[in-house]
Amino acid sequence: MDYITLSNNMVMPKLGFGVFQTPDGKKTEDAVKWALEAGYRQIDTAMIYGNEGSVGKAMEESGVQREDIFLTTKLWNEDIRRGNTMQAFEDSLKRLRTDYLDLYLIHWPADGFEKAWIDMEKIYTSGKAKAIGVSNFQPRHLEAIEKIASNRPTVNQIESNPYFNNQDVIDYCNARGISVTVWSPLGGTGGNILEDAVLRELSEKYKKSPAQVVIKWHLQRDVVVIPKSLHQNRIIDNFNVFDFALSKEDMEQINKLNRNTRSGADPDTFDF
Ligand SMILES: NC(=O)c1ccc[n+]([C@@H]2O[C@H](COP(=O)([O-])OP(=O)(O)OC[C@H]3O[C@@H](n4cnc5c(N)ncnc54)[C@H](OP(=O)(O)O)[C@@H]3O)[C@@H](O)[C@H]2O)c1
C-alpha cells in the first residue's frame, strides 16, 4: 500500500474503496467486507449514498480494527443549506457505528458552505473528525474558504479520469498543500473509458487490466484514488496494482487522452 501525509500530518492510504451507487443492505456489506479482506484500508461513503448503515455493519463484522480503517463520509447539500452540519455529522457517526471519522468532507459547494466550514472546524477541534476537507470545490470556492478558515481543507475530492484529468485543479490544490482524492477514477458507472484503444494496448503491454492501468496512472500522479465495484474479482484486481510501474512515456500517453469531458456534475452549475 502507498500512503500520503495530509497537511495536518494524518496518514491516508492512497488507494481506497468507494461505495457510490452501492445499494444499502447485503450488496454494500459484501462489497465492503471483500474490500477489507483484499487489503483496502480506506472506505469512502456519503450520507446521500444511503449506505452508511451497511458500511458500519460491514466494518464491524469484518474483524479489521476500526483504528486500522481510514473512514470518510460527507455532509450533504441540504444539511449545508439548512445549517445542520453538527446534527448531520452526529447522525452519520451513529449510522456508521463509530465515534469518530478519519475525514469529513463538505460534499458540494452548496449555498452556505462557508458557515458549514466553520462548523466543520468545530468538529475537527472536538477530535471527532481527525481531518476535514471539501469535495467538488473549484479554486474560487477554496478562495472563499481561505478568507474565513482557521484551517485549510486537508483534502479536495474531485472528479478525475483519463478523459477529464482535471489537472489544473489538482495543481492548484497541491500548490496549497491540499491533497486531492479523485472520484469516478475509472470514468464512473456507465462510462466507456476502459474500452479506450490506448488503455487496451497498455493493458496488454503490462499484463494488467485497463482498470489496473488507470488506477496506477492515478497513483503515479500522486492523487488518492477510490474505485468502486460490486464484484469481488474486480475489487481484488483493482487493489492488485503495487507490483508494476508505468513508464514516463506511458504516463504521458494517458495524459494525452484528456478531452475535458466530465462524466459527472459540474461544480459551477450543479443544481441539486
Ligand atoms: N465526491 C463526489 O461528489 C463523488 C462523486 C462520485 C463518486 N464519488 C466517490 O468515488 C467513488 C468512485 O467513483 P464511481 O463509483 O463514480 O466510479 P468508478 O469507480 O470510476 O467506476 C465504477 C464503475 O466501474 C466499474 N468497474 C470497477 N472496477 C472495474 C474493473 N476492474 N473492470 C471493469 N469495470 C470496473 C464498476 O462496475 P461494477 O460495480 O459492476 O463492478 C462501475 O460501473 C464512488 O464510489 C464514491 O465513493 C464521489
Pocket test for ligand 1, best of 34, 47, 228 (most atoms within 8 A of CB): 228
Convert the pLDDT of each residue in 87-101 to its tens digit. 999 999 999 999 999
Q: Which atom of ligand 1 is nearest to the CA of 228?
A: 19
Q: Report the candidate in 39, 46, 44, 45 with the shortest Cα–Cα distance to residue 64.
A: 39
Q: Which grid coordinates belong to 101?
A: 471519522
| Domain 3-191+223-236 CATH superfamily | NADP-dependent oxidoreductase domain (3.20.20.100)
Separation of CA 122 and ligand 1 centre (Å): 32
**pTM of the shown model:** 0.98
Separation of CA 232 and ligand 1 centre (Å): 14
Q: Report the candidate in 67, 65, 84, 55 with the shortest Cα–Cα distance to residue 228.
A: 55
Q: What is the pLDDT of residue 1?
A: 85
Q: What is the pLDDT of residue 59?
A: 98
Q: Which protein residue has the closest C-alpha to ligand 1 atom 29? A: 234
Pairing of strands 3-5, 11-13: antiparallel
User: What is the maximum alpha-carbon separation in the chain?
Assistant: 52
The structural domains of the chain, with segments of one domain joined by +, span 3-191+223-236
Convert the pLDDT of each residue in 192-219 to its tens digit. 999 999 999 999 999 999 999 999 999 9
Judge contact between 169 and 158, C-beta under 8 A. Answer: yes
Q: What is the pLDDT of residue 245?
A: 98
Instruction: Give the relative orientation of helices 113-126 and 139-148 as an angle to the nearest 10 degrees.
Output: 60
Q: Which grid coordinates belong to 139?
A: 479554486
Using DSSP's 3-state secondary structure scheme, residue 36 falls into: helix
From first to last of its 272 residues, the chain has per-residue pLDDT tens of 899 999 999 999 999 999 999 999 999 999 999 999 999 999 999 999 999 999 999 999 999 999 999 999 999 999 999 999 999 999 999 999 999 999 999 999 999 999 999 999 999 999 999 999 999 999 999 999 999 999 899 999 999 999 999 999 999 999 999 999 999 999 999 999 999 999 999 999 999 999 999 999 999 999 999 999 999 999 999 999 999 999 999 999 999 999 999 999 999 999 99
Judge contact between 51 and 26, C-beta under 8 A. Answer: no
Q: What is the pLDDT of residue 195?
A: 98
Residues with CB under 6 A from ligand 1: 18-20, 44, 107, 135-136, 157, 183-189, 194, 209, 211, 226-231, 234, 237-238, 264
What is the Cα–Cα distance from 31 to 54, expressed in whole angstroms? 10
